[in-house]
Structure 1
Amino acid sequence: MSRTVYPSAPGELEFVRSFVNTLDVEKGTDQLRDGTSWMAWATEHQVRGAASAADLAVAREVREAIREAMIANHDRSGLPAGAISALDMIADRANVKVRFSATGARLRGSGAGIDAAFARIVTAVAESIADDTWTRLKACVNDECQWAFYDTSRSRTGQWCSMSICGNRAKQSRWRAARDGS
């Protein structure tokens, strides 16, 4: 299945969506599996610097905590404790701080490599919570997919990364179950 047809999230929230999608559940590929795959993904997303095996283990844990938060967005239940803990941890690690200007406040982080990616993730999540776009970032409810997507539906009730793919699979499954009396 081609994943490039799905709508992008606004601004830096797209970076978060892309980070979560470093794991393609359906294909069984993980762009955070080793230093080489990390560098390919990082270069594509303008992140400079290597990542150690320990860094990548942390990144995989953070990714799944964020995915858990995206699943919680379906119920509008707020950030789960695991996501809060993961975001706090990477905010500290990336030295994210508030910076004020005459026009407002912004979050800024420091570091290179994976810490720069963590800073971008933390600031994007914080800013999207503030501007109410966070709840539109979701993970597909199809357990065999779990692709991160930006819900563009007016009612914010999108469940699948693609209605024509995963939505259709769910409808077919329900139809078969009803037909078979299961």
Structure 2
Amino acid sequence: MISWPATHRHALTAAPSGLALVQELLNTSAARNDLLDDIPGALEWAETVLDSYAQTTHRDRLEVTVGAADVEALRALRTDIFSVINGSTEGQGPDVPKSVTLGFSIADGNVDLHPRGDGWRAIAAAVYLECFIAQQDGTWRRLKTCANPRCAAAFYDQSRNNSGVWHDVKVCGNAANLRKSRERRRLA
């Protein structure tokens, strides 16, 4: 069964294909609790998500163990991807560790890339691979974070003209619009 626990706790639909892994990583951080806060939580998250990733992408399941250094590295990866999505890297991308690698295979005349590595490196390789694939197929620009800074949930914008700014208009959009309206009335 495909399950993206961090994304589903925001009542969001997962992004298509492997981009759901990137969305899921971004959604591990929330006001309620950070799923990458400790080793047991991160391990439980990784086990569930890697099953879903394998099923969604039809790739071999990544076998990952999660230790203290892995949890810290996954949180840093999440911060880097969040910065890239929000354009806050000021022309500089995140430092990709040299230990993150991709393998490739050739079958039936097609070349396929696949994540490689141990621990957080395998997850990072999968995340970077899916970012690249999404940039190539045009879905990358639809992965956004909610404009409400208190929320910042990652969502896949399914609007026709790619104009969504809130993960949920009723929850975050209405609150922001109400604040703006009150501010305008106060200034008038």
1:68 equivalenced with 2:72 (yes/no): no
Aligned with 2:64: secondary structure? coil
Matches within 5 A, 1:1-182: 3-24=9-30, 26-27=31-32, 29-45=33-49, 46=51, 48-72=63-87, 81=91, 84-86=93-95, 88-89=96-97, 92-181=98-187
Q: Which has the higher contact order (CA 8 A, sep 6+)?
A: 1
For each residue in 1:105-152, what CA deviation from the matched residue of structure 2 results, as whole angstroms up to 9, or x when unmatched?
332122343222122211111100100100101111111011111011
Asked whether the 8 Å contact 2:135–2:141 carries over to 1, the reply is yes
Aligned with 1:159: secondary structure? coil
Task: Return the letter of the residue paired with 2:176.
Answer: A
Q: Which runs of 5+ in 2 are unaligned?
A: 1-7, 52-61
Q: CA RMSD in A?
A: 2.3
Task: Return the letter of the residue paired with 2:147.
Answer: V
Q: Which runs of 5+ in 1 are unaligned?
A: none
Q: Distance in 2 between matches of 1:112 and 1:56?
A: 13
CA displacement at 1:101 relative to structure 2: 4.1
Q: Percent identity?
A: 28
Q: Distance in 2 between matches of 1:169 and 1:104?
A: 49
CA displacement at 1:52 relative to structure 2: 2.1
TM-score when scaled to structure 1? 0.82
CA displacement at 1:162 relative to structure 2: 0.8
CA displacement at 1:81 relative to structure 2: 4.7
Q: Distance in 2 between matches of 1:102 and 1:42?
A: 32
Aligned with 1:125: secondary structure? helix
